[in-house]
Amino acid sequence: MNLLRSFVVERLTAAAEEILGAFERTLQEREKEIDRQRRLLDIILKPSVTLHRTEIGTGFYDGSYDGSCNTDGEEDYLESGYQ
């Protein structure tokens, strides 16, 4: 009888350890999934705008402006009556 009791206790202990191990793995997987979903919600609910600096002289302005206005052809347009 003692041998049977010892065997049953051993098998129940092994089964309990296996169940707890599976529970811990499931819990870790769920926590990872919750973290992933939380990051997605943060992205959706808190959008961010990234501004990039532009160096002077990268093609937007080359320094060649002399301060005058170009009105070539404006007088012809006004004289033609197309206002």
Output the tens digit of pLDDT for each of the chain's 83 residues: 899 999 999 999 999 999 999 999 999 999 999 999 999 999 889 877 788 887 765 555 556 656 665 555 555 555 555 54
37: containing domain: 1-45
Structure tokens at 25: 């793995």
Q: Tell whether 75 is covered by a domain.
A: no
Q: Tell whether 31 is covered by a domain.
A: yes
Q: Tell whether 15 is covered by a domain.
A: yes
Q: How many structural domains is the chain composed of?
A: 1
Q: Tell me, what's the pLDDT at 73?
A: 55
Q: Tell whether 63 is covered by a domain.
A: no
Q: Tell whether 68 is covered by a domain.
A: no
Q: Tell whether 25 is covered by a domain.
A: yes
Q: Tell whether 54 is covered by a domain.
A: no
Does pTM top 0.85 for this prediction? no
Tell me which H or E stretch contains 42.
Answer: helix 2-45
What does the alpha-carbon distance between residue 36 and residue 50 come to, in Å, rounded to a whole number? 22
Q: Tell whether 65 is covered by a domain.
A: no
